[in-house]
Amino acid sequence: MAKKPNILIVYTGGTIGMIKDYKTNALKAFDFSQIISKIPELEQLNCTIQSISFDEPMDSSNMNTKHYKQIASTIEDNYTKFDGFVVLTGSDTMSYISSTISFMFENLQKPIIFTGSQLPIGDLRTDAKENLITSIEIACAQENQKPIISEVCLYFEYKLYRANRTSKINAEQFEAFSSLNYPPLAESGVHLNFNRHFIKAASSKKLVVRKNLVNDVVILKLFPGITKKTVQSILNIENLKGVVLETYGAGNAPNEKWFLNLLKKAIDNHIKIVNVTQCEGGSVVQGHYETSVILKKIGVISGKDITTESAIAKLMYLLNKNLSKKDFTFYFEKSLRGEISPA
């Protein structure tokens, strides 16, 4: 008989980990060491489950690269002992966290599934149980004793997404995430259906975990009327290394001289500027309109159809590598973890 998959839950905090104290009616952090006894449904799953919690469960708005490293180290330290990982975080910054983790893990062969919920696990109408149970099921899913998923994903409200393709789009509805530029990898209905065609194949190489991230980066979102003073002060931030420039439509920006001169000066000062569209779906195509021809000429890197969350993660990851300008552009414009669609 095939061995039951071993799943590790890494609990960091967020709404999912709250439970109602029915005496006081207050929400309090849930003790994940007691997870099986609190959610008896988990016993029906064909796997063994263990969990590790952050000492102080936190709201994901308080998480930064230090916590990303903590998540990465926990998975790395337990990588050989478990068949799959479910990471519970708050949903607010889950797309940022999970996108970054996707870059940190090179040559992944096992599933890392991020999930959370809009309502606490103790709430009557909670979405937490379904999100958690199905995420564990996905992390356990195997074929020929090999995991079906071997990439970093985000599961929420019946859909499994490639994590680095997602954005949080709703603070109210259970369907809180979107992935407009890449289809779901699985959908949960009566059956759990995997969209095999879109799932990344497992790597045959040895896992490499890259924990050094550079966070001297910024997101500069354009809006009509943005002033020279604003752009100038952002591009002159001390020690700035990378900028996600959120442009309009297919990557368009004003072609006013002052603006282009500021970008050019920053690029000449070795700051990497990546063009990402403000649109939820679609792609940057530098050169498609007159308003983006010059961006390409001065050395702005095309983010193509990457999300802002993934672009900031990729900058943090690639900036650590001391790449030449040419190589940096090459690697940024190329898909490393499925975050960019092929041309």
Among 68, 71, 85, 91, binds ligand ASP (CB under 6 A): 91
Among 90, 147, 242, 338, which residue sits at the site for ligand ASP (rule: CB under 6 A)?
A: 90
> Interface with ligand ASP includes 137 (CB under 6 A)?
no
Among 12, 15, 93, 166, which one carries the catalytic annotation? 15
135 binds ligand ASP (CB under 6 A): no
**Kind plus residue range of the DSSP H or E element containing 110:** none
Binding mask 44-83 for ligand ASP (x = CB under 6 A): ---------------xxx----------------------
CA distance linking residue 101 with residue 55, whole number of Å = 20
Least Å distance between CB 117 and ligand ASP? 6
Residue 84 β-bridge partners: 7
> Taking CB under 6 A as the rule, does residue 166 contact ligand ASP?
no
Least Å distance, CB 274 to ligand ASP, is: 25
**Is there a catalytic annotation at residue 308?**
no
The CA–CA distances, whole Å, from 292 to 83, 283, 305, 336, 339 equal 46, 13, 15, 25, 22
Q: How far is the CB of 153 from ligand ASP (least distance, A)?
A: 17
Q: Please give the residue whose beta carbon sits closest to ligand ASP in the complex.
A: 90
Handedness of CA 117, 120, 60, 223 (dihedral sign): positive
Rounded CA gap, 339 and 311, in Å? 9
Contacts of 221 (CB under 8 A, 6+ apart): 246, 278
Question: CB of 268: closest distance to ligand ASP in angstroms?
Answer: 39
Residue 82 Cβ vs ligand ASP, minimum distance, rounded to whole Å? 24
15 binds ligand ASP (CB under 6 A): yes
Is residue 115 at the binding interface for ligand ASP, with CB under 6 A as the rule?
A: no
Enumerate helices (H) and strands (E) in the chain, giving the number of each. 9, 20
Query: 32-40: which pairs have CB atoms within 8 A and are 24 or more residues apart?
Result: 32/88, 35/9, 38/121, 39/121, 39/129, 39/132, 39/133
Which CB sits closer to ligand ASP, 171 or 343? Answer: 171
Q: Which residue, 61 or 239, has its beta carbon nearer to ligand ASP?
A: 61
Q: Which stretch in 85-93, 234-242, 243-251, 293-301 sits in contact with ligand ASP by CB under 6 A?
A: 85-93
Q: Output 11 or 82, the one with its CB closest to ligand ASP.
A: 11
Per-residue tokens: 137: 């099921």
**Secondary structure, 3-state, 318-336:** HHHHCCCHHHHHHHHHCCC
Q: How far apart are CA 211 and CA 225, in angstroms?
A: 39
Residue 12 binds ligand ASP (CB under 6 A) = no
Give CA 212 to chain center in angstroms: 17
Site for ligand ASP contains 333 (CB under 6 A): no
Q: Of the candidates 220, 258, 227, 210, which has an alpha carbon nearest to the alpha carbon of residue 242? A: 220
Which of 12/247 has CB closer to ligand ASP? 12
For residue 92, state whether it binds ligand ASP (rule: CB under 6 A).
Answer: yes
Residue 116 is a binding residue for ligand ASP (CB under 6 A): yes
Name beta bridge partners: 167. Answer: 178
- The residues annotated as belonging to the active site are 15
Give the residues lining the site for ligand ASP (CB under 6 A).
14-15, 59-61, 90-92, 116, 118
